[in-house]
């Protein structure tokens, strides 16, 4: 097919365009009006959760056989991108629902999938992902949380840190050490429920950005769960956690892309309105060149991200490199573009009266979570194409 690209080989592009239009309308009508308030008050974007759930967009990746929308990886990216364009905090609802539940989808038993994917798809409970700990961030395999077998049960003890949507989510994929001798091969994954005895949460972190997305510690104090809540075989939890990130780093790239596009769109409008030296600042070539560079970088990030989504969908062997590259590149672009958007708004851009200040703060996290951009470079270097 002439003009065909890597990312439109497995699904007609038309469907994706229609989805984008629908999500953009919904996001502008139901999510954008609350974005500044959610940031200012550092409160959970309940309006976004309600709107996304009502339109079956809160966890689009859940396969149809488990009652989900069955969206492919590119469709999921488009949903996250369009929500992030107006509110980065809200985009963490579909993004983290995928992150938290993908270990079950990739490695869980049929029973586990049936038990948890239905409620997730129905909007009855969100999923979080618990890998990081106070002393185990980039070196996630250095975790200390333990799971000890006790007959037909496992007993979990430890502290997970920086857990997105903790307290709001019903379900938690928790990685824990089951054999301390084996380091990463001695880590197993489990589904823990908020209502399990011994589960509690720390105070919400006070953050620079994505203030509407709660980030809290998760405390596991003698949490006793049935053995069939283990995801996959004993000792495969770390591999599952890393495989999950190969797919979900693309969703962070999508989030970065959306934030950057939101900032560009706002700046584009502003430069037509703002007059200095007797004309709109958008008439100055220095300003036009900045906008051109911003748009160019966003488009490059978009192509990389969509190509990575296609690889995720197909399970290509170079997904690890491509997912890391998309996340790293798109998040760096988001930081540059949002900083430039603030610049284009001058002093006004530096205030909370305009959204680009929030977008610049929100963009920063995309360079840090699901592995810092230094870690992405380590991943890429180990998996060079």
Residues that bind ligand FAD (CB under 6 A): 128-132, 137-138, 162-164, 207, 210, 215, 365, 368-372, 374-375
Strands, DSSP E only, in the chain?
A: 127-130, 146-150, 153-164, 171-177, 187-193, 199-201, 215-226, 230-231, 275-276, 279-280
| Residue of closest CB approach to ligand FAD | 137
| 355 close to 266: Cβ distance less than 8 angstroms | yes
Which three-class secondary structure state does DSSP give residue 157? strand
Taking the complex as a whole, the smallest distance from the CB of residue 379 to ligand FAD amounts, in Å, to: 11
User: And the tokens for 293?
Assistant: 């560079």
Q: Nearest Cα to 334, choosing from 7, 34, 95, 85?
A: 85
The answer to whether 273 is a known catalytic residue is no
Taking the complex as a whole, the smallest distance from the CB of residue 182 to ligand FAD amounts, in Å, to: 21
| 88 close to 45: Cβ distance less than 8 angstroms | no
Residue 354 or residue 369: which is nearer to ligand FAD going by CB? 369
Residue 76 or residue 132: which is nearer to ligand FAD going by CB? 132
**Whole-angstrom distance, CA of residue 59 vs CA of residue 107:** 18
Residue 216 or residue 297: which is nearer to ligand FAD going by CB? 216
Residue 130 or residue 225: which is nearer to ligand FAD going by CB? 130
User: And the tokens for 367?
Assistant: 């360079």
Which H helix or E strand runs over 233?
A: none
Residue 22 or residue 106: which is nearer to ligand FAD going by CB? 106
Residue 147 or residue 307: which is nearer to ligand FAD going by CB? 147
The catalytic residue among 81, 217, 357, 370 is 370
Residue 48 or residue 252: which is nearer to ligand FAD going by CB? 252
**Whole-angstrom distance, CA of residue 333 vs CA of residue 335:** 5
Map 318-377 to HEC letters.
CHHHHHHHHHHHHHHHHHHHHHHHHHHCHHHHCCCCCHHHHHHHHHHHCCCCCCCHHHHH
Write the CB contacts of 219 (distance below 8 Å, at least 6 apart in sequence): 159, 199, 200, 201, 202
Taking the complex as a whole, the smallest distance from the CB of residue 205 to ligand FAD amounts, in Å, to: 7
Residue 237 neighbours by CB distance under 10 Å: 30
Q: Nearest Cα to 256, choosing from 101, 137, 92?
A: 92
Taking the complex as a whole, the smallest distance from the CB of residue 7 to ligand FAD amounts, in Å, to: 27
Taking the complex as a whole, the smallest distance from the CB of residue 153 to ligand FAD amounts, in Å, to: 24
Taking the complex as a whole, the smallest distance from the CB of residue 10 to ligand FAD amounts, in Å, to: 29
Taking the complex as a whole, the smallest distance from the CB of residue 149 to ligand FAD amounts, in Å, to: 24
- Surface-to-core class of residue 157, CB atoms within 10 Å of its CB (0-12 exposed, 13-18 middle, 19+ buried): middle
Active-site residues: which are they?
370
């Amino acid at each position: 097919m002439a003009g065909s690209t890597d990312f439109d080989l497995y699904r007609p592009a038309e469907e994706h365009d229609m989805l984008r239009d629908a999500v953009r309308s919904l996001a502008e009508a139901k999510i954008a009006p609350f974005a500044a308030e959610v940031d200012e008050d550092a409160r959970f974007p309940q309006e976004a959760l309600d709107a996304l759930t009502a339109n079956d967009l809160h966890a689009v990746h859940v396969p149809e056989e488990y009652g989900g929308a069955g969206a492919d990886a590119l469709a999921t990216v488009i949903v996250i991108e369009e929500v992030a364009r107006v509110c980065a905090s809200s985009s963490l609802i579909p993004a983290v629902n995928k992150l938290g539940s993908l270990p079950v989808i990739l490695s869980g038993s049929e029973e586990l999938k049936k038990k948890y994917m239905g409620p997730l798809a129905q909007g009855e409970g969100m999923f979080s992902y618990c890998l990081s700990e106070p002393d185990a961030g980039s070196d996630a395999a250095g975790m200390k949380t333990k799971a000890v077998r006790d007959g037909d049960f496992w007993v979990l003890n430890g502290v997970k840190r920086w857990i997105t949507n903790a307290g709001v989510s019903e379900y938690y994929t928790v990685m824990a050490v089951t054999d301390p001798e084996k380091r990463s091969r001695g880590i197993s994954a489990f589904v823990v429920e908020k209502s399990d005895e011994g589960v509690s949460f720390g105070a919400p972190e006070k953050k620079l950005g994505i203030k509407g997305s709660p980030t809290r510690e998760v405390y596991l104090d003698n949490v006793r769960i049935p053995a069939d809540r283990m995801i996959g075989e004993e000792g495969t939890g770390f591999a599952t956690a890393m495989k999950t990130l190969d797919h979900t780093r693309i969703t962070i790239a999508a989030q970065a892309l959306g934030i950057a596009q939101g900032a560009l769109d706002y700046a584009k409008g502003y430069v037509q309105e703002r007059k200095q030296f007797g004309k709109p600042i958008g008439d100055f070539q220095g300003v036009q060149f900045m906008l051109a560079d911003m748009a160019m970088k966003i488009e490059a990030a978009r192509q990389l991200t969509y190509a990575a989504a296609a690889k995720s969908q197909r399970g290509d062997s170079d997904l690890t490199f491509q997912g890391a590259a998309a996340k790293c590149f798109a998040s760096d672009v988001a930081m540059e573009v949002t900083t430039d958007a603030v610049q284009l708004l001058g002093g006004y851009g530096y205030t909370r009266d305009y959204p680009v200040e929030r977008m610049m703060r929100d963009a920063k996290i995309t360079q840090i979570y699901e592995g810092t951009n230094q870690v992405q470079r380590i991943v890429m270097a180990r998996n060079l194409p």
